[in-house]
Amino acid sequence: MICGIGIDLVNIPRIERLLRNWEDRFKKRVFSQNEIDNSQRYMRSSERFAANFAVKEAFFKAIGNGFKGNIRMVDIEVLHDQYGKPYINLYGRAKQAAETAQINSIYVSISHDGDYATAVVILER
């Protein structure tokens, strides 16, 4: 049963500015080391960072308590399987929130084109 849907749209040039101005401080506050390493393998890494940022924001919307639950962005890790399909690993308060809500499946879709990256997250009990 679907119990949460979230969607987010991120302006890639905005993420590029954050990466340029705050560099490692921004990356380490928002992304796991796996996300950083995976994103930096690409020529336009800012698209990857923006897409992962969108997934995290979409998760907050889907879970329903967003930043009120003191979930840190770094507690939501966006990875890809061997076929490129995105998935989420949860840690800390994000994991606790999902367990409390009895979430047993998380579906993720990501897209980017031009100046925008978007993500949809669907939570299922």
Q: What is the DSSP letter of 31?
A: S
State the catalytic residue, choosing from 28, 56, 61, 68: 61
- CA-CA-CA-CA torsion sign (121, 117, 17, 23): positive
The sheet with strand 116-124 has its strands ordered as: 2-11, 116-124, 105-113
Which backbone phi and psi does 60 adopt, to 5 degrees?
Answer: -55, -45
State the catalytic residue, choosing from 56, 80, 85, 112: 112
Short-list 96, 117, 122, 87, CA closest to 11: 117
Q: What is the dihedral of CA 77, 82, 84, 88, to 10 degrees?
A: -20
Q: Look up 61 and say whether it is catalytic.
A: yes
Q: Look up 68 and say whether it is catalytic.
A: no
- CA-CA-CA-CA torsion sign (95, 30, 4, 108): negative
| Residue numbers annotated as active site | 61, 112
